[in-house]
Amino acid sequence: MEAVLFCSFLSVWISLGRAYECLDQTYGLECQQICVNCKNKEPCHHVNGSCLNGCASGFYGDSCNLECLDQNYGLECQQICGNCKNKEPCHHVNGSCLNGCASGYVGNTCNLALESCSSGNESKCKTSTVLYVSVAITVLSLSLNAYFIIRQLRNKSVRRQQKNTENADTPTDKRSKDLKPTEHFSTSVYDQAEAKPAYQELGGIAEEYQYDKLS
């Protein structure tokens, strides 16, 4: 009898457990614990919280609650950190160096070495120097050309304004010039009258002769 009751109780407990599995990224007793860092944000196991398809990038452990260590990062912590400053650990998810790269390295994960002007790279360094100098000279030449062009345009504008001012004063000068021939004409007639004294005297003698004849 007791065995029958125990089996009945066990079957009811199993059926209730199946009916009330944890949902919404929770697991454990009374679904009080929260699933964390499962791959692709999948739900964890409702009892022990394990991630069925593995952990998200940067995490490991049975319930994926541990960050990558020992200069590793990424999916399943299989990628190695680059050359971080002072050999610090990189970010456990994307591998970036939080305080920058070590001397001589660049890149998001500080894995790219800078080219130095050593014996094997002297030609590259010289080429870079020549290129920088050429670019600087070109920029300077363009700036000077622009300056002289602007200056010439300003000078042309000033000359044009001066010419317009002179043209505005021209009608007054023309009127003064038009008056000079009249004055010259009147003066020349007067001079001509004074230049003929003999003609005037002859006229006077003729008048006196006619007057004596009549008398």
Q: Which of 57-66, 136-145, 181-190 has the lowest mean pLDDT?
A: 181-190
- pLDDT for position 161: 84
Q: Which two structure tokens, joined as six digits, stand for 59? A: 């995490």
Q: Which two structure tokens, joined as six digits, stand for 143? A: 């700036």
For the segment 174-201, the average pLDDT, to the nearest whole number, is 49
Q: What are the CA-CA distances from residue 117 to residues 30, 125, 132 (Å)?
A: 66, 6, 16
The answer to whether 25 and 32 have CB atoms below 8 angstroms apart is no
The DSSP call for residue 120 is G
- pLDDT for position 109: 92
Domain extent listing, the chain: 21-67, 120-214
- pLDDT higher at 132 or 50: 50
Q: Which of 70-74, 97-101, 118-122, 179-183 has the lowest mean pLDDT?
A: 179-183
- pLDDT higher at 60 or 127: 60
- Tell me: the pLDDT tens digits for 110-163? 999 987 555 455 565 566 667 778 888 999 999 999 999 998 898 888 888 888
pTM, entire model: 0.44
- pLDDT higher at 188 or 74: 74
Q: Tell me: pLDDT of 209 over 80.
A: no
Give the closest residue to 65 by CA, choosing from 96, 28, 29, 99: 28
The DSSP call for residue 35 is -
For residue 109, count CB atoms less than 10 angstroms from its CB and return exposed for 0-12, middle for 13-18, buried for 19 or more.
buried
Give the closest residue to 107 by CA, choosing from 82, 74, 80: 82
Q: Are strands 66-67 and 72-73 parallel, antiparallel or unpaired?
A: unpaired
Q: What are the CA-CA distances from residue 94 to residues 68, 78, 188 (Å)?
A: 11, 12, 110
Residue 74: how many other CB atoms lie within 10 Å: 19
- pLDDT for position 171: 57
Please state, in angstroms and rounded to a whole number, the distance separating the CA atoms of residues 124 and 151.
41
